[in-house]
Homo-oligomer: A and B are copies of this chain.
Amino acid sequence: MSDISEATINRLPLYLRELEQLQRIGTARVQSGQIAKRLGFSDSQVRRDLSVLGSMGQRGVGYDVRSLIGTIRNQLGGDRSWNVVLVGVGNLGKALCGYRGFDQHGLNLVGVFDVDPAKIGTKLGDHVIRPLGELESLVEEQTVELAILAVPASVAPAVAQRLEVVGISGILNFAPVNVKQKLSSLTIVDVDLAIELQRLAHAVLRARSEKSED
């Protein structure tokens, strides 16, 4: 089943986003070349990527936007919904909490946690901010599998370890520190804003040197 390449998997969410936008503007059918142009890929690549989903297109016609969306969602999230907790209610945590598009992708925010006594008990959106000590009981009550880690870097590794202990399966880590190190098997996806900016700076330099080579 999961013999889909890592590279393809990483592109599926991009296809999904484009397809959802096409659907929103009322497009029912799309060709590989159109998708390719929007995303800056080759049409070969689009067809190859989509073909791993199991022949979703119609030769001579294209792909049905609606069914393609369903199939990609399926492939990505396993057709199930995930309960997610947010740990750390700084500005970043607040931004993440207000983020549209979680629910749309089968992700339910079921709890919000912080250690700051001044924040505990106050509300963030629909959620009451709870102390970290209540994490265990919530994970037991509801099946919580994913966590968003938005705490300061200094405490992130310790909190990550705790998340592993209570039985979380995956962490989306925003702390600019390596939390993998202290964990045994938990799945981590890192988002480090400084790293992305460094990549941007380098990409700009590269684009310029390519241009000057013409």
Residues of chain A whose beta carbon lies under 8 Å from any beta carbon of chain B: 1-2, 9-10, 12-14, 16-18, 21, 38-40, 75-78, 82, 84, 90-92, 94-96, 98-102, 104-107, 145-146, 148, 169-172, 176-178, 180-181, 185, 187, 189, 191-209, 211
Contacts and interface: CB of A to CB of B under 8 A. Distances in A.
A17 B197 CA distance: 13
Given A17-B192, A77-B201, A180-B40, A209 B1 contact: yes
Contacts of A10: 199
A201 B78 contact: yes
A145 B202 contact: no
B200 A170 contact: yes
The 6 lowest CB-CB distance pairs between A and B, nearest first, are: A91-B95, A92-B95, A170-B204, A13-B195, A101-B194, A91-B94
Secondary structure dominating the interface of A: helix
Nearest to A16: B198
B169 A189 contact: no
A78 B14 CA distance: 30
A207 B188 CA distance: 11
B204 A146 contact: yes
20 contacts: A2-B209, A13-B194, A38-B178, A40-B180, A75-B202, A84-B197, A99-B193, A101-B193, A102-B197, A107-B194, A107-B201, A145-B204, A146-B200, A146-B201, A170-B200, A170-B204, A171-B200, A172-B197, A189-B196, A189-B197
